[in-house]
Amino acid sequence: MISEKGIDMADFSSSFDMPSASSSESADAAELQRLIAVEQQKAQFQAQVHNFTDACWDKCVDKPSSKLDSRTETCLVSCVERFIDTTLTITNRFTQMVQKGAH
């Protein structure tokens, strides 16, 4: 999702190729790559939260009110869990299908 907004995380890692430089500059570049990888992971988490919120809002929130009642909160939490379970189920079953030679 973030990439559609113009930040392609791949740009960050590929633009820091290791120069044939002094060892301290190589260490800096390696540290930078590591720090950027951390931020990239955080960004992926945020992107997933956007996706889940988008899907689960439709399923759980009927009329916007003055606060999220506990029924809605429970629905949102369950929705996230079931979405992940669905993803895992699909991945596993698809893997089995591919291994059996199906398409």
Partner 1 sequence: MDSFSSDFPSGSSSGKMDTGTIMEQVKVQIAVANAQELLQRMTDKCFKKCIVKPGSSLDNSEQKCIAMCMDRYMDAWNTVSRAYNSRLQRERARI
Q: How far apart are CA 22 and CA 44, in angstroms?
A: 33
Contact present, 83 and 55 (Cβ < 8 Å): yes
CB nearer partner 1, residue 14 or residue 103? 14
CB of 12 to partner 1, least distance (A): 7
For residues 54 to 93, the per-residue mask of contacts with partner 1, x marking binding by CB under 8 A and - elsewhere, is x-xxx-xx-xxxxxx---xx--xx-xxx--x---------
What are the two backbone dihedrals, phi and then psi, of residue 14, each rounded to the nearest 5 degrees? Answer: -75, -20
Which residues, 6+ apart, have CB-to-CB distance to 21 below 8 Å?
A: 29
The pair of structure tokens assigned to 44 is 């992926």
Q: Dihedral of CA 13/15/17/18: which sign? A: negative
- CA-based nearest residue to 9, from 29, 37, 28: 37
Residue of 10, 18, 37, 49 interacting with partner 1 (CB under 8 A): 49
Count the site residues for partner 1 by CB under 8 A: 44
CB of 77 to partner 1, least distance (A): 4
Chain positions contacting partner 1, by CB under 8 A: 1-2, 5-7, 12, 21, 25, 28, 31-32, 35-36, 39, 42-43, 45-50, 52-54, 56-58, 60-61, 63-68, 72-73, 76-77, 79-81, 84
